[in-house]
């Protein structure tokens, strides 16, 4: 997928209203430049700024970013600390701009299990932007798709055990309504940067009929042109939803 043929603003989504992105390649970007990994993560934050700024003009209503997975805790402690510090800095430094541009910021995953000061910061950001009607920016934090499904299933099982729900009422729709993403439409497309071909435990249920988009571009190099090219590729797809 080339990043050279970006469509004009407002013309490129081709029906893609919700794009989910697995932001991959920060470490490789830094290694190629003989820089520490944190330099790649910092450059990745700049890519987030560029993409969030470009998304509304390219027709997106919802942008979901895989910011920190539940598996990322396995990384070295200093790298985890750096990632959390960058997250805090991004929210603190960008919240005014996001709010001014009508962006609604929200989070999915077990983010309330993060440190109390981080949770308080994220809660304030959610509350401040809750009434905005522009782009919904959804950040997956301490998120794992399998964990999300287990939590949803556990909630349904508890309701059945308590008599609040009949077993026959446990349907796909009922489970979907318990997912972290219930308030947003399902993603039309899932994009992964850096050329990797795996979901990495991201939006497992929600991606059942999403289009997969892959680019060799490393996340720190991703920009408005690359986003436009991805959406143009999506527009060329024929979505069949299993019908033929």
What CATH code is carried by the domain that includes residue 206? 3.40.1180.10
pLDDT digits (tens, 9 = 90+) for 61-76: 999 999 999 999 999 9
Range of the domain at 38: 18-235
CA separation for the pair 149, 203 (Å, rounded): 10
Is 168 among the catalytic positions? Answer: no
CA separation for the pair 192, 161 (Å, rounded): 40
Q: What's the rounded mean pLDDT across residues 32-52?
A: 98
Task: Place 243 in a pLDDT band, splitting at 50, 70 and 90.
Answer: low
pLDDT digits (tens, 9 = 90+) for 180-215: 999 999 999 999 999 999 999 999 999 999 999 999
Residue 94, domain member (yes or no)? yes
Residue 9, domain member (yes or no)? no
Please report the pLDDT score of residue 12 as a whole number. 41
Residue 71, domain member (yes or no)? yes
Which entry of 11, 72, 82, 147 is annotated as an active-site residue? 72
Residue 221, domain member (yes or no)? yes
CA separation for the pair 176, 153 (Å, rounded): 10
Q: What's the rounded mean pLDDT across residues 101-108?
A: 98
Residue list for the binding site for Mg(2+): 24, 211
List, in sequence order, every residue forming a beta bridge with 141; answer none if it has no partner: 68
Is 72 among the catalytic positions? Answer: yes
Sign of CA dihedral 175, 104, 138, 70: negative
pTM for the full model? 0.92
Average pLDDT, the chain: 93
In the chain, the number of structural domains is 1
């Amino acid at each position: 997928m080339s990043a050279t043929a970006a469509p004009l603003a407002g013309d490129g989504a081709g029906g893609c209203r919700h794009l989910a992105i697995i932001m991959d390649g920060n470490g490789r970007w830094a290694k190629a430049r003989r820089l520490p990994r944190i330099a790649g993560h910092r450059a990745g934050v700049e890519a987030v700024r560029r993409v969030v700024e470009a998304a509304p003009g390219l027709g997106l209503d919802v942008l979901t970013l895989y910011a920190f997975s539940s598996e990322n805790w396995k990384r070295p402690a200093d790298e985890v600390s750096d990632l959390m510090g960058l997250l805090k800095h991004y929210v603190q430094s960008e919240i005014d701009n996001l709010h001014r541009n009508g962006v609604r910021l929200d989070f999915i995953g077990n983010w309330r299990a993060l440190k109390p000061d981080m949770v308080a910061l994220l809660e304030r950001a959610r509350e401040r932007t809750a009434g905005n009607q522009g782009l919904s920016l959804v950040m997956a934090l301490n998120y794992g798709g399998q964990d999300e499904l287990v939590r949803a299933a556990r909630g349904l099982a508890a309701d059945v055990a308590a008599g609040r729900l009949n077993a026959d009422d446990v349907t796909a729709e009922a489970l979907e309504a318990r997912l972290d993403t219930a308030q947003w439409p399902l993603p039309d497309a899932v994009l992964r940067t850096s050329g990797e071909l795996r979901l990495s435990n991201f939006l497992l249920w929600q991606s059942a009929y999403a289009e997969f988009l892959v680019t060799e571009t490393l996340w720190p190099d991703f920009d408005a042109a690359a986003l436009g090219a991805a959406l143009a590729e999506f527009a060329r797809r024929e979505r069949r939803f299993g019908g033929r």
